[in-house]
Structure 1
Amino acid sequence: MAGLVIPVAEWAALHDLVHRYAARVDERDFAGVAQLFGGDGVLVLPDPPHDFGPVREHPSPEGVAAALSVLDDVPLTAHGITGVVFDPGGNPAARGRITCVAHHVGPRDGRFADAVWHRHYLDRYAKTGGGWRFARREAHLDLLDTREVRATRLGR
């Protein structure tokens, strides 16, 4: 099994990459998210409620930023990474399966509602001169739930 282990320093760098993605999305730093992708990187998103699997491809960092900009209409998001698994994918490449719970909070009927997306990402990473980058990130939606929100930093 020694061939299936990512060295600790590489694991830490990949871990940092997936957490930076979540943090930058929550900060609405879509240009910063785009920088986490290689020049030919691709983000593939689902199209809920019709397709929960990755069906909409957004190639290039510019395409990634444009795709995520739809979140500008969502006043608050909070992405929590709940699991990370990395495997070697060739040299210098790796693969990952990342689980996440993403909260999308916005107004609904005079109150706030939280659309909770339980998702997992199937990632391919490439090591570049600037460190690890996403070569391909496929987002799979596993469960979608909506909840009423009692209070947020946005108010009640």
Structure 2
Amino acid sequence: MVIPVAEWAALHDLVHRYAARVDERDFAGVARLFGGDGVLALPNPPRDFGPVREHRGPEGVVAALSVLEEVPLTAHGITGVVFDPGDGPASARGRITCVAHHVSPRDGRFADAVWHLHYLDRYAKTGGEWRFKRREVHLDLIETREVRATRLGR
């Protein structure tokens, strides 16, 4: 079974808005992309590459993402999206691949912790709009790069 084009486009927009709002540090805006009881499940790197911490509801999502306030610059690039129908007409599943850059000062320079990851998502359509029901972050690879220059400086 295939997701209709209009629904696919709405889901595509949802996952890209998540990335953009994280990079803009609009954590309340990210939380609004989740249903009222939505769950954001995160890993605990470098020990755990799979989701081991669950954050429920808008307050949980905001609290989970607030740790990024310590990272001056992030850049999330969505590299692949696959959507499948869910268990009912108002549900869907997704596998989203992403490269997430986390740029921070280190030893008088900037370093980029690059996370290659995929999200396993469950979506629910409520009030005519798609929302995350559950978003799991699965890390595949972490690398660190030296940064020559950023909009933050050199």
The TM-score bracket by the shorter chain reads over 0.9
Q: Distance in 1 between matches of 2:130 and 2:44?
A: 28
Residue 56 (1) aligns with residue 53 (2): yes
Q: Give the secondary-structure state (helix, strand or coil) at the position aligned to 1:10.
A: helix
Which residue number corresponds to residue 76 of structure 1?
A: 73
Q: Distance in 1 between matches of 2:59 and 2:125?
A: 20
Residue 117 (1) aligns with residue 115 (2): yes
Q: Distance in 1 between matches of 2:92 and 2:62?
A: 23
* Deviation of the 1:91 alpha carbon: 1.4
Which residue number corresponds to residue 88 of structure 1?
A: 85
Tell me the matched-pair count.
153
Q: Distance in 1 between matches of 2:58 and 2:74?
A: 21
* Deviation of the 1:130 alpha carbon: 5.0
Identity of aligned residues (%): 87
Residue 20 (1) aligns with residue 24 (2): no
TM-score with structure 1 length normalisation? 0.97
TM-score with structure 2 length normalisation? 0.98
Q: Which runs of 5+ in 2 are unaligned?
A: none
Which residue number corresponds to residue 104 of structure 1?
A: 102
Runs of 4+ that moved beyond 6 A: none
Q: Which runs of 5+ in 1 are unaligned?
A: none
Superposition RMSD on alpha carbons, in Å? 0.6
* Structure 1 residues 28-73: Cα deviation after superposition (integer angstroms, max 9, x where no partner): 0000000000001000000001100011000111100110000000
